[in-house]
Amino acid sequence: MEIEPKKLVIGLGLVFVLGVLFAVVNGIYTESTDRQLPLIVYAISFISLLIGALIMLLFQWKISRIQLEGVMRILPVEERTLVKILLDNNRSIEQNRLVALSGFSKVKVSRVTHRLSERGVVEKKSLGNTNLVVLKV
């Protein structure tokens, strides 16, 4: 699972803002009490940040899985077969191996992967005598 660069920048920006806010709160607290914030406040904040990031990643994983299941339901049988093979092989496989694993003819695999690439489900990259088929969903 990949995290989009835009979301990563936003997350890092929010962590930076949180750090600045802690510095401001610590300054105000220090001026009013002549002591710094207790270390436990920083520990609780750090743990809360980690738990929040974990929850976000779990929800992102669940959303991706639900989207993939929705795509799988609407695909025709041949396309679904090829996508399952791609999922079992870390989302990429050489087209000639795809022919062997699917049991379909070379022409059928070529046509099905072409349809999938037109809809943006897979991407075909040239690898000499064959293509590398990469799942994009």
Both 90 and 80 in one domain: the answer is yes
Domain boundary pick from 23, 47, 73: 73
Both 100 and 69 in one domain: the answer is no
Q: What is the 3-state secondary structure (H, E, C) of the chain?
A: CCCCHHHHHHHHHHHHHHHHHHHHHHHHHHHHHCCCCCHHHHHHHHHHHHHHHHHHHHHHHHHHHHHHHHHHHHCCHHHHHHHHHHHHCCCEEEHHHHHHHHCCCHHHHHHHHHHHHHCCCEEEEEECCEEEEEECC
Both 102 and 48 in one domain: the answer is no
Both 88 and 61 in one domain: the answer is no
pLDDT in tens, 49-106: 889 888 887 777 777 777 777 878 888 999 999 999 998 898 899 999 999 999 999 9
Please give the residue range of the domain that contains residue 108: 75-135
Q: What is the C-alpha separation between 106 and 16, in angstroms, rounded? A: 53
For residue 125, list its beta bridge partners. 132
Both 38 and 58 in one domain: the answer is yes
Q: Look up residue 88 and give its amino acid.
A: D
For 89, phi and psi rounded to 5 degrees? -115, 40
pLDDT in tens, 100-130: 999 999 999 999 999 999 988 899 999 888 8
Both 61 and 81 in one domain: the answer is no
Both 112 and 95 in one domain: the answer is yes
Q: What is the C-alpha separation between 131 and 110, in angstroms, rounded? A: 10
Total of domains in the chain = 2
Both 96 and 68 in one domain: the answer is no
Q: Model's pTM, two decimal places?
A: 0.58
Token code pair at residue 9: 């920048």
Both 122 and 107 in one domain: the answer is yes
